[in-house]
Amino acid sequence: MAQSAATTHVPARDPYASATVKMLIYTSVFWLLLSMVLGLIVALKSINPDFLTGNRFLQTYLSYGRLRPVHVNTAVIGWMTSAFFGAMTYGVPALCKTKLWSEKLGMFTAVYWMLNYLFGAMAIAAGYQTGVEYAEMPLLFDIGVVICVASLWTNLFMTVKNRKERVLYVSLWYWLGSVTFLAIVYIVGNIPAGWMGPGMAQANYYYYYMHNIIGLWLTPVGVGLLYYLMPKLVDRPIYSHKLSLIGFWTIAAFYVWNGPHHLINGPIPLWLMKAGIIPSLLLLIPVWSVLANVIGTMKGVWYKVSENVSLKFLMTGALFYGLACIQGPFQALMGPHAILHYTYWTVGHAHMPLFGGFSLVLFSGIYYMFPRLTGRHLYSRAMMNWHYWLSVLGFVIFGFAMWTAGVIQGFEWMDGKQLGASFLQVMESLHVFLIGRAVGGSLMFLGQIFFAWNLIKSARSGKPIEQTEDPMLLAR
């Protein structure tokens, strides 16, 4: 079942390296750098609220309340979604052994997606936002997102329909499912909820969106990319095709119900709280199916992780994905939730799947695709290693700073220190952890500088790939 995903040598001119893929990947790297800059400014403002407040313009447009939603949306929509669109636009034709159904539709999707988010982010920065996390863009740009997703869905499904490879490799299940889920989640979470008055019904809509934009979009598309890359990087089929499909269907069955666990101990019925807790615990099934498949596939070839930086990114991303999905069910329980929710813990937890998990998987995917897109070897293995270690070390510092701060914060609040002078004392005691967050974020940002510069040098100065060479070999 996995032979269609396991190939080694490809021609220098990859037939699946379309202009659409290049457009999506190149713009995604731009959004990555922008999101890191914005995130670092937000971290510095948490340490010193007077940072970048020298005049009225800076006070208005670079305020924390405007920069943070632009940072979050740029990371999720600009960087991750653009890169995943590019990975699917390359991977689906490759697995189907046919070209993308419509290159014109693909370029329309890529350009419209970039412009729609550009103006959407500008609207958020200008103060035109809904005020709902992950869904701040005004309705006009939400409609643009739906148009782009529908265009991509059409292109990918028609490519699969016209495929020459009859076997549907498991990544196709995850990718086509994820695009379908994204359309449903985005429409339900943004458009109907915006017409409702404030209240718990609206909050349920929004938490459905907030949780499932990760659970039903980024998770299945990221796991699909993991299953696509792993056989190629280790040159062997995945351990169990059946286990991978169990993971797909259990994600589809259980993830959709997890929104209410954000409202545990809140003003919702007890049955609705438990309706969010139970599926959260059941999510351990798809997580362990993925991790079991990774371990089974890598059995006997773990030494390749030290030899292949792209594989190192992939395996580390799989590890962080597993840890994030252990954290999630744990903090969905009513006891831990009462301590950890609305604290800095959730900041560290949210970054675990988004950066620690699936961004590392995307880095692996881009390093795999880039030589095939450009016909040139990657420029520097050393810069790849710097990118890896700065990203991972930076995130570990960032994550542990936020998790520790969140635990302290939660227990102090439970002791009654959530008001008045005692509240200020708690926040002052957490100042050192905010500095730790900024230090970790600075290392993460520096890692992405190495990443972007390596790609630029590869495109300009990388050694051309000969017809029979393996593009994963590095020129320098």
Domain ranges of the chain: 3-461
For 87-148, strand residue ranges (E) read none
- How would you write the pLDDT of the chain (476 residues) with one tens digit per residue? 344 444 444 445 678 888 999 999 999 999 999 999 999 999 999 999 889 888 888 888 889 989 999 999 999 999 999 999 999 999 999 999 999 999 999 999 999 999 999 999 999 999 898 877 788 899 899 999 999 999 999 999 999 999 998 889 999 999 999 999 999 999 888 876 656 666 777 778 788 888 899 989 999 999 999 999 999 999 999 999 899 999 999 998 888 888 888 888 888 888 888 888 888 888 889 999 999 999 999 999 999 999 899 999 999 999 999 999 888 888 888 888 889 988 999 999 999 999 999 999 999 999 999 999 998 999 999 999 999 999 999 999 999 999 999 999 999 988 888 888 888 888 899 999 999 999 999 999 999 999 999 999 999 988 888 766 655 554 33
- The CA distance from 464 to 457, in Å, is 12
DSSP-derived secondary structure letter, 352: I
Q: Which two tokens stand for residue 61?
A: 């447009």
- The CA distance from 71 to 32, in Å, is 10
Collect all residues with Cβ–Cβ distance below 8 Å to 103 and sequence separation of at least 6. Answer: 18, 19, 20
Q: Is 137 exposed, middle or buried (0-12, 13-18, 19+ CB in 10 A)?
A: buried
CB distance 363 to 460 below 8 Å: no
Helix axes 219-234, 170-194, angle to 10 degrees: 160
At 14 the three-state DSSP class reads: coil
- Whole-number Cα distances in Å, 73 to 87, 174, 309: 19, 23, 28
Name which CATH class applies to 3-461.
mainly alpha
CB distance 273 to 264 below 8 Å: yes
- Pure H helices in 48-102: 56-61, 64-73, 82-96
Minimal CA–CA distance to 223: which of 246, 257, 200? 246
Q: Which two tokens stand for residue 473?
A: 């070999």
Cβ-based neighbour number of residue 290 at 10 Å: 24
pTM equals 0.93
Collect all residues with Cβ–Cβ distance below 8 Å to 106 and sequence separation of at least 6. Answer: 18, 19, 20, 89, 100, 155
- The CA distance from 130 to 124, in Å, is 9
- The CA distance from 404 to 344, in Å, is 8
DSSP symbols for 233-295: HHTS--S-HHHHHHHHHHHHHHGGG-GGGGGTTSSS-HHHHHHHHHHHHHTHHHHHHHHHHHH
- The CA distance from 185 to 232, in Å, is 31
